[in-house]
Structures are given as structure tokens and as C-alpha cells.
A = this chain, B = another copy of it.
Amino acid sequence: MPKVVDHDQRRVELVEATWRIIARHGIEGATMRDIAAEAGFANGALKPYFPTKDDLLAFAFSHVFSQTGRRMTDATIGRSGLGALRAYCLEILPLDDIRVSEARIVIPFWQRALTDSTKAELHSSAMLLWRDTMCDHLREADTAGELRTTLPHEDLAGLLMNLVLGAQITAVLSPIENSPDRLVAQLDACIRLMAAGD
């Protein structure tokens, strides 16, 4: 029998090479040849794992979402209410190199999703999940008396969603005015405005 390869692991390898290329040279520079070279293979080696380029990109993008989502839920264990909400949002903000790279990947993804309904639905469902989780934490906070405002939870969650998504852009394209500590200050400002204590 011939050399045997773990296909799933190889797929993840290729996806990580794709991330590095997109984060470094943008999605325009992410050609099949460059991705293969980054992973240490020749052009045609990708075909058995991802028959077409779109398959590769779709897998890469959904992998980013699941990775971020796992990190977010991990950050909330042992917390509830506004504390959980804050930890949840903090995990999306581009505060370190890894999450800045994720921002540099999600922005090209948005652009692709504009004309690709499959990618649009992937984004829509992921955002709906995040939004619902934020609503849950807001409800927890409300019943615990942590909330000062009586505004609908949906609007507050939508506000936070737009905040963290907008931060993906400003953190990358206006890093001076949106350094990590500024972004945290903005999030804390938003949460403190909702909180009962002040």
C-alpha cells in the first residue's frame, strides 16, 4: 500500500497556509499557486483536497468562524450577565496579532459574501448565533438587576454587534486612533452606559 495521509489534517494545513497568504498579501494574492507554495506543495497537490478554489475559501472562512466562536464561548465559562457579555465581546475585538489577522481575513470575506449567497448565509447564521448569545447574557444581566436601561435587548445586542464588527475595520485601517486599549475603552464605555452602577 502507498503512503497514507490524514486528509483532514492536510486540509487544515492548507487552510492555515491560506490564512497566512491572505493576511500577508490580501485575497488578490491568494492564488492557488501561492497557497500551495506557502504550504510547501506544488500547484496541483491541492486538487485532491479542494477540487476548486471556492471550496478551499469556503472551508477556510467557515474554519475562522468556528475557531473564533469556540474562543468566545470558552471565555464566558464561569461568568454570567454583563461580565460574560464583556468577555464575549473582548474575544472578537482585534486586540492582538492573531485577532488582527482574523480581521484581515474577515474583511475580504465580507467582500466576497456581497456577491456569493452561500458565503452570505454562512455569515448571517454565524452573526445570528453571536447576537442571540449576547441577548442571553443581557437577559441574565437584566434579571440580576445589572441593567440601568429599559431599552430592548435586541437593540442593545445589535448595537454591540455593530461595535465589534466596526472594530474589525477601524483596528486595521485606523490603528492609531483604535489601539487595543482604545477599543477596550470603547467597549467598556458602551457596557458602563448600560450598567446600573453609573
Residues of A within 8 A of B (CB): 25-29, 104, 107-108, 110-111, 113-115, 120, 123-124, 127-128, 131, 149, 151-152, 154-156, 158-159, 161-167, 169-170, 172-174, 177-178, 182-183, 185-186, 189-190, 192-194, 198
Contact = CB atoms under 8 A, between A and B. Distances in A.
A82 B115 CA distance: 37
A-side interface mostly: helix
B27 A111 contact: yes
A162 B173 contact: no
Contacts of A127: 170, 173-174, 177
- Tallying the copies of this chain within the complex gives 2
Given A107-B110, A159-B190, A186-B155, A177 B128 contact: yes
Contacts of A107: 107, 110-111, 114
Q: Which 10 A-B pairs have the closest CB atoms?
A: A162-B166, A166-B166, A26-B115, A165-B166, A193-B193, A111-B111, A159-B186, A155-B189, A158-B186, A155-B185
A131 B104 CA distance: 23
B162 A186 contact: yes
Contacts of A172: 114
A194 B27 CA distance: 39
A189 B159 CA distance: 8
Contacts of A178: 158, 162
